[in-house]
């Protein structure tokens, strides 16, 4: 059997980058190549009821070996990687016994993960760390989560003395574009509750997340020869720049933390004749979230009043809601995760996610689903890294959760 590191490294060799506005599921065909590989692997390790539907959602079962009345719990991870950075031709490297200094990812291109910018590196001195070559992301978000779940299923089969109830696992596409849970079959999954293995640093446990929406602005300009443009031209590209300038600097991802919400410009394209801008809107507080959406609508109205009716339009789309209201009423789900971490020698850190997981949407569909650390850091970019001990700790937490759930009614 593969080690957990070998398993993760094999997963990184599949380019599973998702794509915004593709209009299909999965958003990229290449995700299905990995999905088929993963479904075959689940069969090879001995899981039952392995099924991959035509949209790339994978479900599988580890049968119970303990009390038949134990609750059925599940573990979920997504296999797509972010559109923000290339996931093709990933070249991972293991830095052995990390010494606490800057890590040169790519000497030829001068790409360095320095400890001044990324001080979290120093929390992992003495550990083996998996890094990129500086030209792609690593894919620990969330292939680390997949590796941990799969390895835990292997471990439980190799240790039948660990009694557990029926365990379900599921892997899905398109989480990074907010669509991962849209076609998830909660009824087929058949769990009382579940956990997404999709967090960051060791110890993270999250059951609060942002309320989230997307905003897409369309600006319709009027293109006229510059020599005859006075009083006629409406430059969509320039209006786009003005729109961006009206976003308060205090409300950007790079200037906020904790429970502070933000607006984030994902993409801007344009010319004199037409421009489009895509934003995401985030806030933990429902009232402030509504105000942020209204602010975006007001921007479109104000600019249209200035440049002509209908010049600027915005389409808002809710993506997910804060799952706290659905998880807090079932405190045993959180208590069990805390206990599982403590048994693995991990100090739990309950915190709010400055982001979202598929668990947010699933919680509102009747499947309480907090988020547990997968161990990676600096997701969505070339400075992403994954400490090897974190992989092992997360895998042990999954094993402990299975055992604890098997004793739930004791």
| Positions marked catalytic | 80, 175
Residues in the chain: 410
Handedness of CA 405, 57, 360, 351 (dihedral sign): positive
Residue partners of 43: CB distance under 8 A and separation at least 6: 50
C-alpha R_g of the chain: 23
End-to-end CA distance of the chain: 34
The Cα–Cα gap between 238 and 272 comes to 8
Question: What is the full DSSP assignment across 201-261?
Answer: STTEEEEE--EEEEEEEEEE-B---GGG-TTT-B-HHHHHHHHHHTS-GGGSGGG--TT--
3-state class (DSSP) for residue 195: strand
Q: Which of 161, 162, 163, 181 is nearest to 171 (CA)?
A: 181
Phi-psi region of 374 (alpha: psi -120 to 50; beta: other; left: phi over 0): alpha
DSSP 227: G
What percent helix, strand, coil does the chain show, rounded to 5? 35, 25, 40
The Cα–Cα gap between 201 and 272 comes to 45
Task: Determine the Cα angle at 225 with ends 222 and 230, to 5°.
Answer: 70
Q: Which of 203, 152, 135 is nearest to 387 (CA)?
A: 203
């Amino acid at each position: 059997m593969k080690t957990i590191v070998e398993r993760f490294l094999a997963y990184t060799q599949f380019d599973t980058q998702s794509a915004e506005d593709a209009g299909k599921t999965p958003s990229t065909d290449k995700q299905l190549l990995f999905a088929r590989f993963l479904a075959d692997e689940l069969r090879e390790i001995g899981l039952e009821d392995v099924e991959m539907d035509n949209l790339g959602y994978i479900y599988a079962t580890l049968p119970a070996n303990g009390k038949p009345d134990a609750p059925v719990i599940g573990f979920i991870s997504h296999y797509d990687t972010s559109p923000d950075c290339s996931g093709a031709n990933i070249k991972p490297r293991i830095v052995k016994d990390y010494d606490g200094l800057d890590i040169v990812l790519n000497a030829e291109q001068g790409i360095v993960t320095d400890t001044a910018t990324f001080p979290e590196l120093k929390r992992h001195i003495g550990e083996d760390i998996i890094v990129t070559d500086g030209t792609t992301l690593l894919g620990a978000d969330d292939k680390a989560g997949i590796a941990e779940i799969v390895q835990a299923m292997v471990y439980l089969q190799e240790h039948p003395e660990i009694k557990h109830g029926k365990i379900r696992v599921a892997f899905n596409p398109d989480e990074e574009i907010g669509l991962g849970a849209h076609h998830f079959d909660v009824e087929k999954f058949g769990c009382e509750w579940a956990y997404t293995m999709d967090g960051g640093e060791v110890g993270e446990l999250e059951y609060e997340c942002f309320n989230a929406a997307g905003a897409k602005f369309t600006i319709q300009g009027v293109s006229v020869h510059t020599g005859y443009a006075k009083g006629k031209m409406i430059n969509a590209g320039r209006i786009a720049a003005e729109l961006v300038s009206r976003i308060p600097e205090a409300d950007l991802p790079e200037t906020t933390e904790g429970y502070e919400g933000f607006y984030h410009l994902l993409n801007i394209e344009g010319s004199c004749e037409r421009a489009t801008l895509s934003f995401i809107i985030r806030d933990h507080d429902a009232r402030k979230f509504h105000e942020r959406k209204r602010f975006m609508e007001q921007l479109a109205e104000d600019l249209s009043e200035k440049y002509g009716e209908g010049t600027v339009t915005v389409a808002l789309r809710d993506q997910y809601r804060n799952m706290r209201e659905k998880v807090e009423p079932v405190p045993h789900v959180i208590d069990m995760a805390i206990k599982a971490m403590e048994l693995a020698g991990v100090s739990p850190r309950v915190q709010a996610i400055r982001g979202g997981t598929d668990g947010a949407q699933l919680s509102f569909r009747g499947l309480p689903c907090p988020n547990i650390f997968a161990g990676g850091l600096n997701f969505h970019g070339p400075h992403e890294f994954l400490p090897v001990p974190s992989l092992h700790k997360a895998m042990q937490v999954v094993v402990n959760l299975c055992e604890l759930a098997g004793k739930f009614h004791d």
